Homo-oligomer: A and B are copies of this chain.
Amino acid sequence: MLNASVETSAMALGPWTSSARQPRDPLDEIASFATRIKARRGTAIFADGDDANYCYRIVSGEAMAFKLMSDGHRQVYEFLVPGDFFGYETQADHYFTVEAVSEVVVLKYPRRAVERVLAENSRFAREIQQMTARGLHSAYQRMILLTHKSADERVAWFLLELADRTRNSDDALHLAMTRTDIADYLGMVIETVSRALTRLKRGGAIAMQSVNDIRLVDRQRLELVRGEI
């Protein structure tokens, strides 16, 4: 949802390194308030309507933020990867559910503590503001995707974005989420996602080791399919 800037996902890989030269993690400010929790695949970290007494950050694994509609439809707002910070609200309640998509480890910060730091530390407040603003920016970009892009463009965009966010150096990409999750994220149905993946495979842009393990064989072609923005 909101990812603290560039270097942060390193924190998922090892212990905090506060070495002088290293750019500091903006969330270090609240690190001391964190408790570490685990969630198994399919379990909720918090639910739509819950009191927003805590906010969180992914350490390892993946999660998804979504809202369930009264008509049964589900909109997946974001997939959350290591480094992502989420659940900090200015209002009383959470307005979406966050559920583990794989076995996931998260840090849990008490809202009170975060707000105390926000009030006292303007640098930290600026970081949070920046993360929220980036979230808004990317939500707007996704609107373009949802209104003007074809099925293949959406799926290509999804794959490239996920590869980018999980910072895979090689071309291997593991999809922790199901086709249904992807469909609900991209505003399509599962069959269309499946067909789009098949076309990308036939076109030589990707290869599939197994259903959930994809190789971005021809990244350039994939970017071509995705199109601008």
A residues with a Cβ closer than 8 A to B are: 67, 69-71, 73, 75, 77, 89-91, 95-96, 118-120, 122, 125-126, 128-130, 132-137, 139-140, 142-144, 146-148, 187, 227-229
For residue A70, which residues in chain B have a CB less than 8 angstroms away from its CB? 228-229
Interface of chain A, main secondary structure: helix
Instruction: Give Cα distance in the complex from A146 to B140, angstroms.
Output: 12
Give Cα distance in the complex from A135 to B134, angstroms: 12
Residues of chain B contacted by A126 (CB below 8 angstroms) = 90, 118-119, 125
Q: How far is the CB of A143 from chain B (nearest CB, A)?
A: 6
User: Chain B: which residue is nearest A228 at the CB level?
Assistant: B70
Copies of this chain:
2
Report the bound CA distance from A228 to B119 in whole Å. Answer: 37
Residues in B whose Cβ lies below 8 Å from that of A142: 143
List chain B residues, Cβ under 8 A from A143: 75, 77, 139, 142-143, 146, 187
Which of these, B122, B136, B146, B227, contacts A147 with CB under 8 Å? B146
Q: Which of B136, B140, B144 contacts A132 (CB 8 A)?
A: B136
Q: Given A71-B228, A122-B125, A125-B126, list of 13 further CB < 8 A pairs?
A: A67-B140, A69-B228, A70-B229, A75-B143, A95-B137, A95-B140, A118-B122, A118-B129, A136-B136, A143-B143, A146-B146, A146-B147, A147-B187
